[in-house]
Structure 1
Amino acid sequence: MAQGEPVHFPGDGVELTGRLYRPTGPGPFPAIVLMHGCSGMWRQDGREPTTAYDFWAEHWRGRGYVALLVDSFGPRGEKEICTQKKRPISPARDRPKDAYASLSWLTQRKDVRAGHVHLMGWSNGAMAVLNAIQPDAPGRTSDGPQFRSAVAFYPGCAQIGSDYRPVAPLLIQAGAADDWTPARHCEALAARSKDGKPVEIDVYPGAHHAFDGYGKVRTRSDVSNAASPTGWGATVGANPTARNQAITRTTAWVAARDR
């Protein structure tokens, strides 16, 4: 099926939507929840997921995972929040609830292996990932279903507190040339995260924000950027070498934690 199957499921005070990519066969399969960045999940026509998100969902489906792309913005009346100085949807308060609503919905499916659901996100969605695997994350209960592991592509680690204690193993993928969510903050986060589950990080030389995508490297002057002296503007674009390395690394890392 093209770009997955449209799905609807209950969230916390909102009906969430998304696309489900399901392997052939009855299962049960491991699963992965995918959380988009601040530009939203959809292409400009609003009909299909972006090329990058569709790639990752198909990638996981091809390796025997049920992949769920979750739209956090459309159900709340937003298309994107990158260009908004005061963002109406929070990766700390709102989107972790979406992650756990997705987890709950997936674990109730007969074709999903309970206890084998992972979490992955990009940029703003990666911030949601970091927040979702904290002990007191919104939407999380200690006796409810838990994520088996988590992957965060270029999150804004500067916004995470010094007492970070993840409740699931975490892999961070970052670009050394990222001027929107600088990798140094994630390196510091990984170094100080000693009390919770292990945190690993790879930093790819010459890679900018969205290095695993397909767009040409360019400057976006319209985006809000806390790391910029002016508060605006960031460099984004693909780095094919880093993308291929990150695909290999992420695939192997998740698979190793799914045994």
Structure 2
Amino acid sequence: MDMSAFRFFFRTGFKLCILVFALLPASQAAWAQQAKTVNFPSEDGKTTLVAYQYAPDTPGPHPAVVMLHGRGGLYSTLKQTFDADSLSSRHVMWVKFWVERGYVALLVDSFGPRGYARGFEAGTNDGSRPASVNEITVRPLDAYAALKFLRGQPGVIKDKVFLQGWSNGGSTALSAASTTAPGIEAPTEATGFRAFLSMYPACAQVMRRFTSSYRSYAPMLLLIGTDDEEVKPERCAQLSGIAERNGSDWQFVLYPGVEHSYDTPTRKREAVQANKLAAEDSKQRAEAFFGKFLAR
């Protein structure tokens, strides 16, 4: 290749790279601009929660999904602020996923209002985290506060509100689904959430609280990988067995070779082929799982 051709391809390639990198943050910023930052009281009676609400462009009312973050919190570690412009890539991806399918999406920050916006490191799921953010006894109170908030919105179908949680938030989803859940008395599919999606939760925490009596009042889809390095999938298999024996409407999916946070759209997670395949399968399952309750 002569020097003139080299300079042409260098300039063209460089401009293309600039364009690609310019478009990526613009897309993120576009979703941040769509967010409506809202506040409402937790059912704990002392915390004012912050949440980010997104709605489809189509006329409502719409079904809705309450979304609960994991132990790392809602925000990207690359940002120094804690707002809609700082949400991590996984949360933005799932918000986009649900909104494009006609759902109102509500991301609830349980940690920031309690002084822990940065979340917690891996390996701290041993009782060392503050009781004020406990995923089994406290965060369900946030979930039911979010349900109450959404049911007060004219653009939301009152009996079509779902709950999705990841990791620590996945454990919260399991606790909130219990027939003896904190934050609601004698829950049913009509008075509580319509269905639950729990992704790679710490099921051992749930089993300590509910033991062999655990039963969910609404359908549950639990997704986890065999190679999860943070939580124990065998505990989720045990909990699923207990829930099913007690009459729960329950689906348990165990992905071979899949790690924790497998649906996070980062190079590290997507470098594992099993993670990529599981992430795509999880989206398909999630859409079908919630979708089957919309016509009922």
TM-score over 0.5 (shorter chain): yes
SS in 2 for 1:40: coil
Separation in structure 2 between the aligned mates of residue 132 and residue 51 of structure 1, nearest angstrom: 25
Contact 2:42 2:48 (C-alpha < 8 Å) held by counterparts: yes
Partner of 1:241: 277
Q: CA RMSD in A?
A: 2.0
Higher helix share: 2
Displacement, 1:24?
A: 1.2
Match of 1:114, as an amino acid?
K
Contact 1:216 1:237 (C-alpha < 8 Å) held by counterparts: no
Partner of 1:122: 166
1:104-115 matches, within 5 Å, as 104-115=148-159
Separation in structure 2 between the aligned mates of residue 238 and residue 17 of structure 1, nearest angstrom: 35
Separation in structure 2 between the aligned mates of residue 105 and residue 121 of structure 1, nearest angstrom: 18
Q: Identity across aligned pairs (percent)?
A: 35
Contact 1:93 1:138 (C-alpha < 8 Å) held by counterparts: yes
1:157-168 matches, within 5 Å, as 157-159=203-205, 160=207, 161-168=211-218
Displacement, 1:258?
A: 2.3
Match of 2:198, as an amino acid?
A
Displacement, 1:10?
A: 1.6
Give deviations 1:61-115, integer Å, cap 9, x for gaps.
1101001000000000112123545111100111000000000000011100011
Separation in structure 1 between the aligned mates of residue 261 and residue 268 of structure 2, nearest angstrom: 9
Give yes or no for the alignment of 1:57 onto 2:95: yes
Give yes or no for the alignment of 1:214 onto 2:273: no
Separation in structure 2 between the aligned mates of residue 154 and residue 251 of structure 1, nearest angstrom: 18
Give yes or no for the alignment of 1:43 onto 2:70: no
Partner of 2:252: 201
1:140-151 matches, within 5 Å, as 140-142=184-186, 145-151=191-197
Partner of 1:172: 222
Displacement, 1:56?
A: 0.5
Contact 1:40 1:71 (C-alpha < 8 Å) held by counterparts: yes
Moved more, 94-103 or 134-143: 134-143
Q: TM-score, normalised by structure 1?
A: 0.88
Question: Which consecutive residues of structure 1, in runs of 5 or more, have no partner in the other structure?
Answer: 219-235
Partner of 1:8: 39
The 1:148/1:237 distance shift into structure 2, 3 A limit, reads same
Contact 2:31 2:92 (C-alpha < 8 Å) held by counterparts: no
Separation in structure 2 between the aligned mates of residue 21 and residue 196 of structure 1, nearest angstrom: 35
Partner of 1:72: 110
Partner of 1:87: 129
Q: Could you tell me which of 165, 185, 204 is aligned with 2:235? A: 185
Match of 1:170, as an amino acid?
M
Contact 1:213 1:237 (C-alpha < 8 Å) held by counterparts: no
Separation in structure 2 between the aligned mates of residue 167 and residue 127 of structure 1, nearest angstrom: 16
Match of 1:63, as an amino acid?
R
The 1:179/1:162 distance shift into structure 2, 3 A limit, reads farther
Displacement, 1:215?
A: 3.0
Contact 2:256 2:274 (C-alpha < 8 Å) held by counterparts: no
The number of residue pairs the alignment matches comes to 242
Displacement, 1:198?
A: 1.1
Higher strand share: 1
Match of 1:130, as an amino acid?
L
Match of 1:5, as an amino acid?
K
Partner of 1:232: none
Match of 1:142, as an amino acid?
A
Q: TM-score, normalised by structure 2?
A: 0.77
Give deviations 1:121-160, integer Å, cap 9, x for gaps.
0000000000011122111123783100000000111222
Moved more, 84-93 or 247-256: 84-93
Contact 1:35 1:120 (C-alpha < 8 Å) held by counterparts: yes
